[in-house]
Amino acid sequence: MALVGPVSRALAERLSSCRLLVVGAGGIGCELLKNLVLAGFRDIELVDLDTIDVSNLNRQFLFQKKHVGKSKAQVAKESALQFCPEAKITAYHDSIMNPDYNVEFFRQFTLVMNALDNRAARNHVNRMCLAADIPLIESGTAGYLGQVTVIKKGVTECYECQPKPTQKTFPGCTIRNTPSEPIHCIVWAKYLFNQLFGEEDADQEVSPDTADPEAAWELSDAVARAGASNEDGGIKRVSTKDWARSTGYDPVKIFNKLFRDDIKYLLTMDQLWRKRKAPVPLDWTAVERVEMGSSLQQPSASPTGLKDQQVLDVRSYAHLFARSVGHLKARLAEKGDGGELVWDKDDAPAMNFVTAAANLRMHIFSINMKSKFDVKSMAGNIIPAIATTNAVIAGLIVLEGLKILSGNMEQCRTIFLNKQPNPRKKLLVPCTLDPPNASCYVCSIKPEVTVKLNTHRVSVQMLQDRILKDKFGMVAPDVQIEDGKGTILISSEEGETEANNNKNLAEFGIRNGSRLQADDFLQDYTLTVTLLHSEDLEKDVEFEVVGDVPDKASHRLSEEDGKVITNGSDDGAQPSTSRAAEQDDVLIVDSDEEMPSSSGAEGDGESRSLKRKLEEEAGGGGGVKRRCTEQQEEEEDEDVITLD
């Protein structure tokens, strides 16, 4: 066979002539683009919406300090062309979810490779590739873990074949009244940032929740409080931002309001503290007068290590809070009337504000304080990105692409990169690709899903935003009620059905068993939704997808796993959960027990609870328990790195 470098002449010609779409130019994307041009790919189109940040430079090696603030896609193109000037690379500084990138756009390509960092975009590309019938290579990393898989319509599982758990959320009363973990205080501090400097959101209130049912003995009291909390009672209500503006953003007044007055008010809700340790208010004057050696002066850990890894004392956090308020006040003033700031983990004043506010609240509620490094990891929903992991995964993406272009689709595998070698000393473990899930609400012949909700409480707006867009990944849905009349409930045409938004579903005759047809023209996707009316949903649960298994299965993880707080990295982890139990998509295969695929695990309760660890949003396999047989591993020795 004639060879051109390490590949056959026929394959080399195929590489140079095929059109390739790469989505994402971050940690994986940079390594991937470099690999592609060096492997012989000559016609590549690259899409990424992000700009380059200083924090990217330690692992995204196509970028340099001089590129900070510029388009990732454009700079990645320019850098890759230095490896291979004859390559044709087209860069788009844009979102792949832009309607311009429709099914016809995707049909131009021979192959699509994902290097994304969020679930919404992954879902969208998955659907576009299914509609265009183009092979997709999905990938992701989470720290030392990684995964690559191949998706082909009608041949393999799609990215959404296995339902994934929703992002972990916390009840509002826990955030506002009774925090018990650092993450509760960090979420509160991020809410506070938006209330003071950003876009105000009624769902992100930070003041004590007087409607907390736990604060009242009788159910009637709780209902009365909830009603009273939504009424003005003759008192003019002022937003947090308006109040802060009226004080001139005085840091001392803001401090005393948040950490003294609000806490004193919480203490009047004495039923909350019968079985909990009561919070201890902080007063600015008292903090300032604290003497050396007091409990407020001593940090919860010795100040060793790097600056951002040190836990400071309460007085230091109070001063940091005041300084950051001053910086953010000045920045907000620069934006003029109606200006808003957007919280960014890489913005020093914003990060200092959240670190200080969260730690002051932790101290008040007797929770161990955290370093800025730890707070940033939780607040920014980050798993530390490892450059080597990105490099390994990018290499595996290209290898799977070569198999597809060689016409050897049957040789493609899902490959897991583990943190440690398994008992057979294998760090990379390939698994056979699973066939499509017959009940998948995306790639099955007639996609259907059943949703349980309260039709008297769920509005049309919530159906559109929280269910169809957030949960089921639609971009611009059109919804018709199957009532024999073809009633249009939601239209993607602006203004057509806006009058329906605040009405509840019951007002349109929707009841238990009603069916809706939701169409997304951009994704060429139609979903039939059966609605089950229920008044027995758990507190703070707006709806449930019937058969959404991972949310329940996740509780089988060990207690130790449940304590880990991680989330998607810029290199392919998504986003956002607060416990490893809710994470998905990277699976550590640490055994050679027989279980060739997720489908083979169905119906076996014991095998479904085998030890595994899920990591956030790092590939196409979904949150599935998956094993490889010894025979399969023997067959795939050429794809496995062994450690002697």
Tokens of 395: 């290499």
Contact, 113 vs 67, CB < 8 A? Answer: no
Alpha carbon of residue 422 to chain centroid: 29
Of the candidate ranges 38-42, 165-169, 415-419, 540-544, the one whose mean pLDDT is the lowest: 165-169
Catalytic residue among 173, 185, 412, 431: 173
What does the DSSP 8-state code read for residue 642?
B
Taking Cα atoms as reference points, which of 592, 605, 602, 609 lies closest to residue 556?
609
Using the predicted structure, report yes or no on whether residue 586 has a pLDDT greater than 60: no
173 is catalytic: yes
Using the predicted structure, report yes or no on whether residue 256 has a pLDDT greater than 90: yes
Contact, 313 vs 296, CB < 8 A? Answer: yes
d(CA 508, CA 478): 16
Taking Cα atoms as reference points, which of 159, 183, 157, 163 lies closest to residue 171?
183
Q: Identify the three-state secondary structure at position 193.
A: helix
Mean pLDDT confidence for 172-194: 90
d(CA 220, CA 222): 5
Tokens of 396: 């595996």
pLDDT at 362: 96
Q: Give the rounded percent of residues in the chain with a pLDDT score beyond 90.
A: 55
pLDDT tens by residue, 184-201: 999 999 999 999 999 877
Using the predicted structure, report yes or no on whether residue 309 has a pLDDT greater than 80: yes
pLDDT tens by residue, 411-458: 999 999 999 998 889 999 999 999 999 989 999 989 999 999 999 999
CB atoms within 10 A of CB 151: 29
Q: Whose structure tokens read 């950003």?
A: 198
pLDDT tens by residue, 454-479: 999 999 999 999 899 988 999 999 99
pLDDT at 238: 65
* Identity of the amino acid at 251: P
Contact, 163 vs 549, CB < 8 A? Answer: yes
